[in-house]
Amino acid sequence: MNVAGMLRRDGIAQHLAPNALAIALAIIVVVFAVSEPAFLTSGNLIGIVRQVAIIGIMATCMTFVIMTGGVDLSVGPVLALSGLASYFALQAGMPLPVVILAGLAVGALVGLVNGLIVAFLQLPPIIVTLAMLSIVRGTALIVGGPEQHLIRNEPAYSFIGTGTLMGLPFSIYIFAAVALLMILVQRRTPLGLLVAAIGDNERAAYLSGHRIRLTKTLVYVICGAGAALAGIIQSSQVHTALATYGPFGTELDVIAAVVLGGTSIMGGNGSVARTLLGVFFLGVVNNGMNILNVPIDIQLIAKGAIIVVALALAARRA
Amino acid sequence: MNADAPVLRGVGLGKTYGNLAALADADFTVRPGEVRALIGSNGAGKSTLIKILTGAVLPTRGTVEIEGQAAPLGDPLGMIRRGVACIYQHSNLAPAMSVLDNIYLGRQPTRALGIVDTGRQRREALDLLARHDIDIDLDRPVGSLPTVKQKEVEILKALALDARVILMDEPTGWLAAADVARLHATVRALKARGVGIVYISHVLDEIFAVCDTVTIMRDGRIVAESDVAAIDRPTVVRLMVGDKLAGEASGAALQQRHPRGTGVVRMSARDLGKRGVFGGVSFDLHAGEIFCLTGLIGSKRTELVRTLFGSDRFDTGTLEIDGRPADIRSPQSGMAHGIGFVPEDRHREGLMLDMNVTENLAMATLDRHRRGPLLSRGSMARAGRQAIDELSVRPPDGGKLVRLLSGGNQQKVLVGKWLGRNPRILILDEPTVGVDVGAKAEIYAILRRARGEGAAILVVSSDLEEVMTVADRIGVMVSGRLVATHDAGAVTQEQIVREIGGGTA
Amino acid sequence: MKIRFSSAALLLFFAVTLAFFSVSAPRFATASTVENLMSGYAFVAILAMGQAWPILVRGIDLSIGAIVGLVGMIVFDLSLIFSVPGYVILPLALLAGALAGALNGVLIVYLHLQPFIATLATLAAYRGLTYSISGRQLVPGLTTTPIRDPWITGIETYFDLGGSIGLSRLINMPWFPLSFFIMLAVFALLQVLLLATRFGRDTCATGGNAEAARLAGIRVGAVTIAAYAISGICAAIAALIMVARFTTATEALGSGAELTAIAAAVIGGVSLAGGVGSMFGPAIGAFLLGAILIGLTLQGVPQFVQQIITGVILLAAVGYDRLLVLRRQRKLETAATGAGR
Amino acid sequence: MKPTNDRRDFLKAMALGSAAVAGAAAGVLAAPGREAGVIGVPAARAQDRYKMAFIQWQPHTVPAAWSKGIEEVLKPQQVIDYELLDGQNKVEVQVSLMDTLVSQGASVIFLQPIDSVALAPSIAKAKRSGVSVITLNIDATEPHAAHVEMNHYYGAMDIAKAMGDAMGGKGKVAILNAPPGIIIRDQRTNGFVEGMKAHHPGIEIVADQVADWDRKKAQDVLNTILAAHPDLGGAYGVNDSMALGAVDVAKEKGLLGKFVVFGNDGETAALESIEAGELTGTQYTDVYQQGRLAAAAATVLATGAVNASAFGQQSRLLMPYLIATKDNVGTIQASQRW
């Protein structure tokens, strides 16, 4: 009963978290805007969205994984490997849809392996995906070597990351589409409800006749595919595929965004929309400190402190 | 010291969570050698009161005194040091640690540098075991013990404190009859040694068997205090649930029985067995009847019904549904055969506590709310509203988190989740554990309504009063075997008790 | 029981690994390889043993790599900029590690942050602090100045034990690095702390069932903070060993060490569910990872393939642990059935 | 395009380099260093096969090209086994690999140290075991067989000079930097800052932000800096990837031609970008050649009679470099591009 009481507090905390974060975000925006008016220019604001697109896509796609009590540390190397897969498909002269599919397939495949091991062998996700981090990075380095693979004269492919449509970078549209799709999936499909149910009480979901293992596997596949999509955009943006892209720390940025959005790393309640708030929070912090030319040491200290304060604020309100 | 001076005394205790007053203005005393029953419906404030007395919760107002001395509030260690021990309703043991370590959790005897004096610890524990005539392997991890034994460890934990007051929160909730008797013997022995005891239970029999005085709570307030000898059962029930509900509860017993319902056999089990668990179980379940399986905890009723639903598998025997062999491998295939299953532990296996009532009600019927690849929230809400009306879930708010409902209303939601599928066969495992009297009556009414609509209902229950109230037919399980089945109208409670006890000697 | 059994299995696996490489990898079974293993992985073992404590209280410490970097830079500054003598630096370094670790615990206990996210935040903050105080940036000349304080560099001393007891005449004995003995000392200390003291019991209780521990009067908050402080102290010891080995500290020192330590701890049977583990497992886990990497390198397996193999072994280790748990559960079920009858 | 100082070292290096190549052919070479103290140490190199390995910093185009150059020289000499090992950007991994190679009995270790001091004890240990160490790019404080270096500090000064010239001696520039933790980052940054001070005091460095060696991050960071400083005249990328990220931004914003971008390294992608008129310039070093020189020295060391422990002071081979711009990039042959 005491446990129930504690959980109840956390539950309320999770409901208040988005407000605390939104308030914190507003405060930070005001601080940056006052100290550097250029922060609020439309160019910079569009820049922020463009900058967070890659982490944002990965974070929205990882939200479900974390809601089911899992985590995916392997997204960084997946990003690299999918870029390489797309590059090789391009080299082979495949049409663009096939190229994109090749990249996505690699990510989905890694996600599938993660998901199958986590769901069916019931091994701890943090270790499974840590192992996979190592395995996928090794594979990427074997496949791609240390060389940069330049993507030249592929206007269609390059459009994904660098093109503009109605004045906005095309990557923003992809990000928005993925975000909307994931929000739709969460709010308007059985899968979304089922993910929440599994996070809340896996056993009860099983006894309600749901296919838990299948759902869990699917959630990792989505996460892998999301990381792969991010990898395609990145390789298109930099006209290069490289095995070392998505270095150590990428996965932590993604997880930080999800958790800042109020999803508990232990699973349970969570929301894609709130994850987006977390993504933008981190994006604004990074952008603002870059625009103020804050040195890297202070940037890192401030980032850590801001995460702590934002989350503590959310917990305090409970 | 005056023997009549209270050993533990709470004065003007109150606790509010947000706007909700969980406890208001409670005065509470326990004297040495007194066994005081604390009863009330779920949500009446018993647990809050207990938690304040153990220091687990900080009261919003009021004071606690131990032998006339003001005690620190919200400090579990301080209360333990002052001789207040508690046996909680839910297990409070560290499963990976040994029995020995659990008994002395947090206060192992130590030598210099905080090194645990294991020799002394073991000597004291063995002495304790001998004194209370309990047999248990001190080195086994607690998690590997059966539930009954785990409860004993909890009791040992309290005994090892040499506590002056022991608070027992539903100590017999999961115990079999023989174990209950042993526990009561222990309670009497403690009483004889001058220990004050607070005894919380839903089972009135126990209260009249072992308690001296009774404190009755309702809606966060203490509504009555009395000597047990000076009060009778109907009065207790009326005080607990209020006048209106009391009428419903007593009226519920006078219902017609329908053994073999419509006469149509829905489910037919022949010689079911699971190696090392149960065996040779045969029965027929008819449309339009309520068949109750009773027996001691550990008689494998739960294990049996799980295999019927498909969340476990049986090894031998055959199962037919509507006259056709059924191969049920998973909850999904169980559901495909029209079976619904309300598990025993609603918190761990039944409900999504942090999701709302509507979502929980829809959890087994998602396919009905599907529109193409999408889920229709509107359709879910409509179905939810209807179910809330039919089940009279209170408050009637589909958006409310299930966690915030009372135990009885949670249970109604859980039953309603399955009724939404109009199950042809509904299996319920201990459907009213931890549910107050009023809600119990409502759940019985819901079951009878489902029966009237032609469902075949299989209820597992340890509560004989419940079995005699609700059953059309009764099956008795002993050690994994179905030893007898009766028409409920043609058997007495005494006979069932004899049969249940028959296999355990 | 369980701890002892899985430890035995781990030890067996370690032995098999050593035997395999001794046969298959040229020059694996030599004194110098053993020496390399001891000196190159003693600090990994210490990090893994430290990491076990947060995991025991059902948390995780992602910041240990950053603490290694921070403590390393503190030692660098104190020694090279402020010329503080080594015997003063050593306790200060341990204190810094303890404080950094304790701060993690404070954030988790008092601000109710999830361990993963709290230590993720301090990972960034401690690394940033390392950059801030970096003597390499403040006094660029120091980038090529080694630390020469004997109290610090003395940690990287080798002892010819075989020679001193005369064994070297029979076989070629490795020289034992002091860091290895430090690791043994840390192991002994932590193992006693975990298994024989009230604090150790309280730690297991906190991780096994925090609510039960709280109601039993255990100061769960204090225990949690202490667990993270131990992790921080271990990171500081590891940092000292690394600084002694490299005679300098870089701003990036220790980055990524948390993942290796977590892997070693989990391979060593420390349960992520909390409350179960020993110090023996993580230490062996660290040396197992080291032996595999050295063995594969000696075999000439390309390093990118090694990464894949490391991942597979990690999977196999948790898979094996899972198998043990399943088997234990099955045994329990049978036992419970017996008891129920 | 010649190094502005260290001319003596450079000449000595070139001399040694040619001698090494010649010596490799002849099979004998009087290696540099004191001969004292080696008497009594057997010429340990009389073996059938020689083991050599290169411990790189982390997977990157530069060490990959070195490795290619090294292999080019070593492969034909059939008695040498060569492998590439990865330091994973961690000092402790490099040290552990050094230990392993020493106990494996390697003849020569090529090493791209992450830090000058941190690897010194390992180099000393290698020397004691008679293993020669050739460092690439980052020198070590412990004297060793040879050091073959791209000129980071003075190269960066020259970049600053060329960049200032291209900007007409005034304006604002931003540095797209790497995170601290490896020495070349410091040298390339400090050289640039000092170079600006010395040659173009009129140019102001308005931003110095970390972009993690990464093209995408560089795009993001420069975008942001441009929002704060719309009048920014140029950007210096501490490596070519980050410079190319800056080019991407300039292209997108239509600033090509007006916005000066310099990189550092001289990889193929950068040279092509210069030819296309996008990247203003970079410091080009023939990294293949650098690898070949190191390998040539290595073969001499491996087969020669000189013991590794003899080196009291190593020879430095300072690679010539070229500040490649549109004017001179054509002089870099296809075979010299990496």
Q: What is the ipTM of this complex?
A: 0.84
Contact A291 D220 (CB under 8 A): no
Q: Looking at the structure, tell me whether residues D138 and D166 fall in a common domain.
A: no
For the residues B268-281, what does the mean pLDDT come to?
91
- Residue identified by tokens 């711009």 is D325
Say whether both D87 and D172 belong to one domain.
no
Give chain B positions within 8 Å (CB) of A7. Answer: 353-354, 403
User: Do D281 and D292 lie in a common domain?
Assistant: no
Sorted by sequence, the CB contacts under 8 Å of residue C282 that are 6+ apart come out as: C45, C48, C49, C51, C52, C261, C264, C265, C268, C270
Which residues of chain B make contact with C335, given a CB cutoff of 8 A? Answer: 144
Q: Which residues of D26-57 are buried (b: 16+ CB within 10 A; e: fewer)?
A: eeebebbbeeeebeeeeeebeeeebbbbbbbb
For residue range C289-334, what is the model confidence (pLDDT) as tens digits? Answer: 999 999 999 988 888 899 899 899 888 888 887 887 777 777 666 6
Interchain CB contact of A57 with C (< 8 Å): no
Residue among C113, C131, C211 whose CB faces A315 most closely:
C113
pLDDT over threshold 90, residue B134: no
Which pLDDT does position C233 carry in this prediction? 98
Q: Which residue of C has its CA nearest to B505?
A: C341
Note whether D268 and D248 are same-domain residues. yes
Angle of helix C280-299 versus helix C2-24 axis, rounded to 10:
20
Q: pLDDT, tens digit, for every residue of B138-188? A: 998 888 787 667 878 888 888 888 888 999 887 776 566 667 787 888 888
Q: Is A113 helix (H, G, I), strand (E, B) or coil?
A: helix
Average pLDDT over residues B9-37: 87
List, as one string, the DSSP characters of D177-235.
EPPSSSHHHHHHHHHHHHHHHHH-TTEEEEEEEE-TT-HHHHHHHHHHHHHH-TT--EE
Tokens 């380099």 sit on residue: D17
Over 80: is that where the pLDDT of B333 sits?
yes
| Predicted pLDDT of residue C185 | 97
Q: Indicate if D86 and D98 belong to the same structural domain.
A: yes
Q: What is the pLDDT confidence band of residue B243, given thresholds at 50, 70 and 90?
A: low
Q: Do residue D186 and residue D329 come from a single domain?
A: yes
Residues D169 and D314 in one domain: no
Round to the nearest angstrom and report the end-to-end CA distance of chain B.
45
Q: Do B101 and C276 touch (CB under 8 A)?
A: no
CA dihedral of D170, D171, D176, D182, whole degrees rounded to 10 = 30
| pLDDT score recorded for residue D304 | 66
Could A204 and B56 be called an inter-chain contact, meaning their C-beta atoms sit closer than 8 Å? Answer: no
What are residue D62's phi and psi, to 5 degrees?
Answer: -65, -55
Q: Is residue D290 part of a domain?
A: yes
Residue D88 lies in a domain: yes
Least CB–CB distance from A36: residue in D179, D221, D228: D228
Domains along the sequence of chain B with CATH: 8-252 (3.40.50.300), 260-318+424-505 (3.40.50.300), 339-422 (3.40.50.300)
pLDDT of residue B436: 75
CB contact under 8 A, A121 and C308: no
Mark which residues 307-336 of C lie under 8 Å from B by CB: 332, 334-336
Confidence of residue C281 (pLDDT cuts 50, 70, 90): very high
Q: Which residue of D has its CA nearest to A43?
A: D227
CATH assignment of the domain containing D184: 3.40.50.2300
**pLDDT for the residue numbered D327:** 92
> What range defines the domain where residue D280 resides?
152-285+325-334
**Closest-CA residue in chain B for C205?**
B94
pLDDT computed for residue B336 by the predictor:
93
Residue D198 shares a structural domain with residue D246: yes
- pLDDT mean values, one per 10 residues, chain A (318 residues): 44 55 89 93 92 96 95 96 96 94 97 96 91 95 90 90 90 96 94 93 92 96 97 95 91 91 84 94 94 92 89 67
Q: Residue B131 pLDDT more than 70?
A: yes
- Give the span between the Cα atoms of B99 and B138, in whole angstroms: 5
Same domain, residue pair D206 and D77? no
**Predicted confidence (pLDDT) at residue C108 exceeds the cutoff of 50:** yes
Give mean pLDDT, residues B100-128: 88
The pLDDT, as a whole number, for residue D191 is: 94
Q: B334: which residues sit within 8 A by CB, 6+ positions away? A: A209, B308, B309, B310, B311, B328, B341
Cα–Cα dist B428/B456, whole Å = 11
**pLDDT at residue D27, as a whole number:** 35
Q: How many domains does chain C have?
A: 1
Give B231→chain C minimum CA distance, Å: 35
List, for chain D, all residue ranges whose pLDDT scores fall below the cut of 50.
Answer: 1-16, 18-46
A-contacting chains (≥3 CB pairs under 8 Å): B, C, D
Give residue A7's pLDDT: 44
**Residue of C5, C197, C209 to mutate when probing chain B, most B C-beta within 10 A:** C209
Quick check: pTM over 0.90?
Answer: no
Closest-CA distance, D227 to chain A, in angstroms, reads 6
Are D138 and D15 contained in the same domain? yes
D 104-163 residues with CB < 8 A to C: 104-105, 114-121, 141
Task: Read off the pLDDT band of B356 (50, 70, 90).
Answer: very high
Q: Are residues D177 and D138 in the same domain?
A: no
Contacts of B122 (CB under 8 A, 6+ apart): B100, B138
- Chain B interface mutation, best of A12, A15, A208, A215, highest count of B Cβ atoms under 10 Å: A208
User: Within this chain, do residues D161 and D36 fall inside the same structural domain, yes or no?
Assistant: no
Contacts of A127 in chain C (CB under 8 A): 262-263, 266, 272, 314-315, 318
What total of structural domains would you count in chain D?
A: 2
- The per-residue pLDDT of chain B, averaged, comes to 86
The side-by-side arrangement of strands in the sheet containing B8-17 is B20-30, B8-17, B61-66, B69-70
pLDDT confidence of residue B237 = 76
**For the residues of B457-485, what is the DSSP string, one character each?**
EEEE-S-HHHHHHH-SEEEEEETTEEEEE
**Domains in chain A, please, with CATH?**
14-316 (1.10.3470)
Tokens representing D47?
A: 């073996």
Tell me, what CATH number does C246's domain have? 1.10.3470
- C115-133 helix and C86-110 helix, angle to the nearest 10 degrees: 150
| DSSP codes of every residue in A49-68 | HHHHHHHHHHHHHHHHHHHT
- B387 pLDDT band, cuts 50/70/90, is very high
Dihedral angle at the C-alpha atoms of B50, B54, B60, B64, nearest 10 degrees?
100
pLDDT for residue B175: 64
Higher-confidence residue of C274 and B386: namely B386
Residue D2 lies in a domain: no
**pLDDT 10s digits, B48-93:** 898 899 888 899 999 999 988 898 898 888 888 888 988 877 678 8
Domain containing C173 equals: 2-340
pLDDT in the model for residue D78: 84
Q: Which pLDDT tens digit goes with each residue over B447-472?
A: 999 999 999 999 998 877 788 889 99
- Whether B202 shows a pLDDT value over 60: the answer reads yes
Identify whether the C-beta of residue A220 lies closer than 8 Å to the C-beta of residue A70. Answer: yes
Distance to chain B for A203, nearest Cα, Å: 5
* Predicted confidence (pLDDT) per residue in C233-260, tens digit: 999 999 999 999 999 999 999 998 999 9
What's the pLDDT score for residue B254? 52
- The verdict on a CB contact (< 8 Å) between C205 and B300 is no
